[in-house]
Amino acid sequence: MPVVAKEIDRRASLGIVLLALMAFFSISAGPMGAQQGAANTAEYGHVTFTKDVVPILQRSCQRCHRDHGVAPMALIEHDDVRRYARRIVYKTGLRDRAGAMPPWYVEKDIGIQHFKDDFSLNDEEIAVLAAWEAMGAPMGDPEDAPPPLVFDDGVSWTAGDPDLIVRLQDFTVLGGQPDWWGNIEATPTGLTEDRYVKSVEVREVNDYDPSGARETVGGRFV
């Protein structure tokens, strides 16, 4: 019995310590984010969704964050984006670290910096998003918004018709199971001689019914 009592006391003490640490980090993180948002607000003035945020989302986010896209939520309408405003500020603030959005992991101060179709955010765009969230994520004048993007989910190749298509082996991820990020086995190309490769395009195809509800990512992603 005394051993059990000591174990209970130890667990209780650990729980108190963990709660204290959680409270400390929560309190510490709050003012820092608020100060950064306030600083951005002072620098960029009145930031609105339609005038300032939508152009950023269209260039860097909506190719995935849309209906039938590969991301888990759409970032098209103001109400939807406002709901995730705080998380957007956190994710974009990670910049080139793991978990950052958009997922462009090229360090800004090392090596080549100019890439075709670079959808990463610069420091000013990240600051604008933070300022918008700090202001309460206002809508703005609908007339300020650029025309909505039109997406084509048809089977097409962005680099032109390919000379060679190599299909990887199909595999199934069961519902309720963790995502699989294992190694992909070598796949025969069918080529009989060495060839130079000018470009490579990877197409992910998830077979699902787009007309029904779904709770996972899917669609056709290039």
pLDDT of the residue at 30:
41
Q: Which two tokens stand for residue 102?
A: 């958009």
- End-to-end distance of the chain based on CA atoms, in angstroms? 62
Domains held by the chain: number: 1
Average pLDDT over residues 133-154: 93
125 within domain boundaries: yes
**Residue that wins the pLDDT comparison between 31 and 56:** 56
- On the question of pLDDT at 56 being above 70, the answer is yes
Under the banding of pLDDT at 50, 70 and 90, the label for residue 206 is low
Q: What percent of the chain has a predicted confidence (pLDDT) above 90?
A: 39
Under the banding of pLDDT at 50, 70 and 90, the label for residue 34 is very low
207 within domain boundaries: no
Average pLDDT over residues 147-169: 84
170 within domain boundaries: no
166 within domain boundaries: no
Alpha carbons 78 and 96: distance in angstroms, whole number: 26
Q: At what angle do helices 123-134 and 2-44 cross, to 10 degrees?
A: 110
32 within domain boundaries: yes
pLDDT of the residue at 27:
33
The mean of the pLDDT values for the chain is 76
Alpha carbons 65 and 77: distance in angstroms, whole number: 11
Residue recorded with tokens 């609908």: 142
CA distances from 179 to 133, 154, 174, 189, 195 (A): 31, 26, 9, 27, 34
64 within domain boundaries: yes
- Dump pLDDT digits (tens) for 74-122: 999 999 999 999 999 999 999 888 889 998 888 878 888 888 889 999 9
**Residue that wins the pLDDT comparison between 116 and 47:** 47
pLDDT of the residue at 40:
62
70 within domain boundaries: yes
pLDDT of the residue at 150:
92
Alpha carbons 16 and 12: distance in angstroms, whole number: 6
Closest C-alpha to 176, from 208, 215, 204? 215
Domain residue limits at 93: 2-144
- Dump pLDDT digits (tens) for 172-202: 777 777 766 677 788 899 999 999 998 888 7
151 within domain boundaries: no
